[in-house]
Structure 1
């Protein structure tokens, strides 16, 4: 049986560096984030973050052009967040990122939002489910490091 802590596809070292920068950026904007959060549809968000007002952001990390081109499941994340971003490294060709999503440039030390993601508000029931999933994952990981 799988638990919420199981990770099917751990982030590559390059993606982990981008994730660190994204988490710092999200913190600077008042969001608390976790990495590798499994959604109700079975997809795994690279970064999921919750703001003070309950808004939910998902960030899909692409560490290479090949990674972006071979992974076209990103539309399946949209129903689970208010805003959706791609996060890429400084040398990633930005023109391939779809215009209808947000764009973040990040490295191991921080990041910058180059294009704001459009707001598409979640319905209340989905927001509650996502918030509970987020809280339980964060609490389980905290307990695991304290054990």
Structure 2
């Protein structure tokens, strides 16, 4: 671009088009994803393994293991969640992720516990393993891979149809 011409990069951002600030649960999810990456897992946020169920974080490990992590930012957020037990059929291990101020005694036994913030976290209690059946594992892994590829495609071509030639 020549000196003195203006272009889109010279225009200040339109505040009405900026994304809203992240919610506390989204910040927890970011820290959880960073923690899981440090354990060689890849993760998707707000993933739907089957219609009607949306998990905060689903992670795929280096040996094909599937973990679900639900992020709870407050007591009210936790008590409003009536569907979490339905997630157990879609993962090998199930975790709660909370911040340091969360009342951990509310969390059910037999589940994992991660304490996190926006920057990382720590696994305080490893969830018991409940291995998925082979057919279910294959279906969930395929769905995970397709969702990850769709996300990558939308980053590479935001206005595209999601179909590559």
TM-score normalised to the size of structure 2?
0.80
Matched, 1:127 2:137: yes
Q: Deviations over 1:90-140 (max 9, x none)?
A: 110011101110000110110001111000000000000000010000000
Unaligned runs of 5+ in 2: 1-21, 158-165
Unaligned runs of 5+ in 1: 1-11
Structure 1 residue aligned with 2:151, among 133, 138, 141? 141
Matched, 1:92 2:139: no
Q: Deviations over 1:43-87 (max 9, x none)?
A: 001000000110000001111100101112100000000000000
Query: Within 5 Å, which residues of 2 pair with 1:1-147?
Result: 13-147=23-157
Count of residues in correspondence between the two structures:
136
TM-score normalised to the size of structure 1?
0.90
RMSD: 0.9
- Greater RCO, 1 or 2 (C-alpha within 8 Å, sep 6+): 1
